[in-house]
Chains A and B, each alone.
Chain A
Amino acid sequence: MDEDQFDEVIRDLPESFNAPPPPPLDEMWGVIEDAHFNLPQSTSISRGSFFSTPWLAAATLLVGIGIGALIPRAKAPATVQPPVAQAVPVQDTSAVADVYRDQTHQYLGQAAALLISLPAKDGSKTADSAFANKAADLLVTTRLLIDSPAASRDVKLRSLLEDLELVLVQIARLRNERSRSDLDLIHQAVEQGDVLSRLNSAVATTQSSE
């Protein structure tokens, strides 16, 4: 084959290489519609697989324990000291807010450190396992914070936490199954969600409010 023939081959590629059949538009839409619009808006497909695992039970339990541990501190004084019931909740609300703020700041710092130090392509299994374990630890805190008053008052923080949750789930899975494509997916998720820059911004915000 000479140069001219090869140029012709390249020119004809759109017609000759894997010419697509008509797309089954309605059939595909049915699946997409079921998966996206028939689920609650805040529930994505990938998160669905997370919630279908024992992670849900563990995370939910810890959320309950975490909230339970915080709420009595806010309300107990009001029942113990009825005469100052009006003043105390204000102080306690502030104290609880401080707890959340400190926890959020600490958590965001740890999440940023984890994502920054994530191997670019190839890491050892030991390193992956360490990352996965750390991600699993952070996941519990993530769920706790997503359900906390701190996130309910701050839409940006909540959105960041939800994106972080998805990324952390992916990292935590490296413990069981690891491939270069898994790491690529994680990096793409971080990149597409602009997670790191939002994370750095959130760290700076929580730091400055201290």
Chain B
Amino acid sequence: MNEAQLIARVIQGDRLAGRALYDMHAPRVFSLAYRLSGDPEKAREFTQDAFIRAFSRLSQFRGEAAFSTWLHRIVVTVVSNARRNELRFGREVALDEAQSIETSAAEAEPDLKESIERAVNNLSEAYRTTLILHDVEGYTHAEIAVMLGVPEGTCKSRLSVARAQLREALAAFKE
């Protein structure tokens, strides 16, 4: 049974088809959610939320883009909305946590991996997401444009700015 047939079966309420469709896409969706969130528990919640939303809107999928692109767009939206809410409510980095980071940074020079993670996470949301989608997850600009709902040119310029900011943040790093 191909993907289109599975989708049609899921719309009709076939849970086995749902599981098959899920098995085809869940590993990549979870990977994307984890790359964007950096937290296994959040990645699990985002993956669940994305599939629940996708299944409930499956009849709206018109096949203009690949199903995976449509699904990954939902994942990106779910993660972005959650991150915005976290930032809005100031829950992401509690004050004591921030202080402990400062302390440890003063005590020991972070290694390259930590420096990269910190630099990527300090990028603004649009740049960070574009960089992760392109340079970490390997999506094309065309796919990212569909996922983020922006023109392809915007993706390219965002990636360029993101890399420039990352380069600047890592400039002082010495191995």
Task: Please give the residue numbers on chain A whose beta carbons come within 8 Å of chain B beta carbons, in ascending order.
Answer: 1, 5-6, 9-10, 13-14, 16-18, 20-21, 23-25, 27-29, 31-33, 35-37, 41, 44-46, 159, 163, 179-181, 184-185, 188, 191-194
| B6 interface residue per 8 A CB criterion | no
Q: Is B15 a contact partner of A13 (Cβ separation < 8 A)?
A: no
- Taken residue by residue from 116 to 146, chain B's Cβ proximity to chain A (1 for < 8 Å, 0 otherwise) reads as 1100100000000000100111100000000
- Whether, in the assembled complex, B149 has its beta carbon less than 8 Å from a beta carbon of chain A, the answer is yes
In chain B, positions 35-60 with a C-beta closer than 8 Å to chain A are 35, 38, 40, 43-44, 47-48, 51-53, 55-57, 59-60
Q: In the complex, how many angstroms separate the beta carbon of B162 from the nearest chain A beta carbon?
A: 10
Q: Are B81 and A33 in contact (CB-based, < 8 A)?
A: no
Which B residue sits closest to A191, measured CB to CB?
B149
Smallest distance from the beta carbon of A70 to chain B beta carbons, Å?
Answer: 29
In the assembled complex, the Cα of A63 lies from the Cα of B3 at a distance in Å of 40
Q: Which residues of B contact A (CB under 8 A)?
A: 13, 15, 18-19, 22-23, 26-27, 30-31, 34-35, 38, 40, 43-44, 47-48, 51-53, 55-57, 59-60, 62, 77, 80-81, 84-85, 88, 112-113, 116-117, 120, 132, 135-138, 149, 163, 166-167, 170-175
Distance in angstroms between the alpha carbons of A29 and B53 in the assembled complex: 13
Task: Provide the bound-state CA to CA distance between A21 and B100, in Å.
Answer: 26
For A13, give its contact among B51, B88, B116 (CB under 8 Å). B116
- Mostly, the B contact residues are helix
**In the complex, chain A residues whose CB is within 8 Å of the CB of B30:** 20, 23, 28
Give the chain A neighbours of B15 by CB distance below 8 A: 33, 37
- Shortest Cβ distance from residue A50 to the other chain B in the assembled complex, whole angstroms: 13
With A33-B18, A188-B77, A188-B149 known to touch, is A17 a contact of B34 (CB < 8 Å)?
no
If A1-B173, A14-B138, A18-B38 touch, does A23 touch B81 (CB 8 Å cutoff)?
A: no
Complexed CA–CA distance, A194 and B63 (Å): 13
Residues of B within 8 A of A24 (CB): 44
User: Whole-angstrom distance between the alpha carbons of A171 and B56 in the complex?
Assistant: 20
Residue of A nearest to B174 (CB): A1
- 17 A–B contacts from the bound complex (CB under 8 Å): A1-B171, A1-B173, A10-B163, A13-B116, A14-B136, A14-B137, A27-B44, A28-B30, A28-B47, A32-B55, A37-B15, A45-B52, A45-B56, A159-B59, A179-B84, A179-B85, A184-B81
- The answer, among B13, B149, B167, for a CB contact under 8 Å with A41, is B13
B26 near A28 (CB under 8 angstroms)? yes
Q: In the complex the two chains form, is B18's CB within 8 Å of A36's CB?
A: yes
List 5 extra interface pairs beyond A10-B135, A27-B44, CB under 8 A: A1-B174, A13-B136, A18-B38, A20-B34, A23-B27
Contact of B167 among A6, A159, A163 (CB under 8 A): A6
Contact partner of A181 among B81, B136, B138, CB < 8 A?
B81
Q: Are B170 and A17 in contact (CB under 8 A)?
A: no
CB distance from B44 to the nearest CB of A (A): 6
CA gap between A35 and B149 in the complex, in Å: 27
Bound CA span A184–B80, Å: 10
User: How far apart are the CA atoms of A192 and B48 in the complex, in Å?
Assistant: 19
- Which residues of the other chain, B, contact A5 by a CB distance below 8 angstroms? 175
Supposing A1-B170, A36-B18, A181-B81 touch, asked if A192 and B56 sit within 8 A by C-beta, the answer is no
Name the B residues within 8 Å of A27 (CB-CB).
Answer: 44
